[in-house]
Amino acid sequence: MPYVKRFLAISLCALAAHAADLRIGIIGTDTSHVPAFTRMLNDPAAPGHVAGARVVAAVKGGSPDVKESASRVEQYAEEIRAKYGVEIVPDIPALLGKVDAVLIESVDGRPHLAEAQPVIAARKPFFADKPLAASLEDAREIARLAKAAGVPWFSASSLRFGAIGAEGAKLTGITGVSTWGPGPFEPHQPLDLSWYAIHPIEVLYTLMGPGCESVTRTFSEDADVIVGKWKDGRLGTVRAIRPYSDYGAVVTRGREVTVLHPKAAEAADYRALVVEIVKFFETGKPPVPNDVTLEMFAFMDAAQRSKAQGGAPVRLP
């Protein structure tokens, strides 16, 4: 009998803890982040399990004209349903009645504004995976609507919280940064850098902080080199490489040079990002200020216009 009582006590504690978890909903099952995040949240036995929240429902979404979306949306939806017990619901209103917070995961940034609008109207805090939107105008509208409704949100690359960001946070007196990373294009995106080069751009902002005033972009078939001039005179450079590359940064501090070039798995540490997401949903305090995210979109918008003008310097709008 004592063993039975002990088993029942443990089971009740587990059920109570499970019931206390934040209920998370996913919009868009067309990125590998969906099963990766869900596993960390829903499987207590998973390496790197993050406690405190569970994915309970998801809407498939998907962009039929984007191969990277259309080819994966059904596969990942079925994976999280079968492996982790996530309910697949037909639309966003059905999702919002079942959750406390939302992950906007659609790999294509174009639908993010339309996906965010009902989330904001329902007063649900949300994380928007990269990119926040496909244009500066849409990014600003998401921010405007959320601010007017008092709904907290944030958007970030996992690289900000991975090895590069963690090591960079230890460095002081940074006088300049050069980052590199993949920069493939997707033809439907209004801001071509937002599709993938946004990741090395976020590394640049992680290390430099905000304050860029103008951008110059040099384009070739194999790579882009984007140079930002900060208001304090510092220069930050991004090399977006095609088709793909790993990630890294060269940081200068006066005469001292530090190279940050971790292994790929360490650079993009999903767990560190998921920890920040859960903490954000619990506190309502974004780990990345919204204004910084919007400045990165202004940076990419200026870079797009610099490209159109043959590499002329363009001030951030």
Rounded distance between C-alpha atoms, residue 313 and residue 264, angstroms? 33
Rounded distance between C-alpha atoms, residue 58 and residue 208, angstroms? 36
Q: Is the pLDDT of residue 50 over 50?
A: yes
Write the CATH number of the domain with boundaries 158-315.
3.30.360.10
Write the CATH number of the domain with boundaries 2-154.
3.40.50.720
150: left (phi over 0), alpha (psi -120 to 50) or beta: left
Q: Is the pLDDT of residue 8 over 50?
A: no
Report the percentage of the chain scoring pLDDT > 90. 91
Most confident of 4-18, 158-172, 263-277: 158-172
Rounded distance between C-alpha atoms, residue 17 and residue 185, angstroms? 44
Tokens for 274, please give them.
Answer: 């998921």
Distance of CA 54 to the CA centre of its chain: 18
How confident is the model at residue 19, as a pLDDT? 56
Q: How is the chain split among helix, strand and coil, in percent rounded to 5?
A: 40, 20, 35
The whole-number average pLDDT for the span 201-207 is 98
The whole-number average pLDDT for the span 67-87 is 97
Nearest in space to 296 (alpha carbons), one of 143, 118, 70, 84: 143
- pTM score, whole prediction: 0.91
Distance of CA 199 to the CA centre of its chain: 9
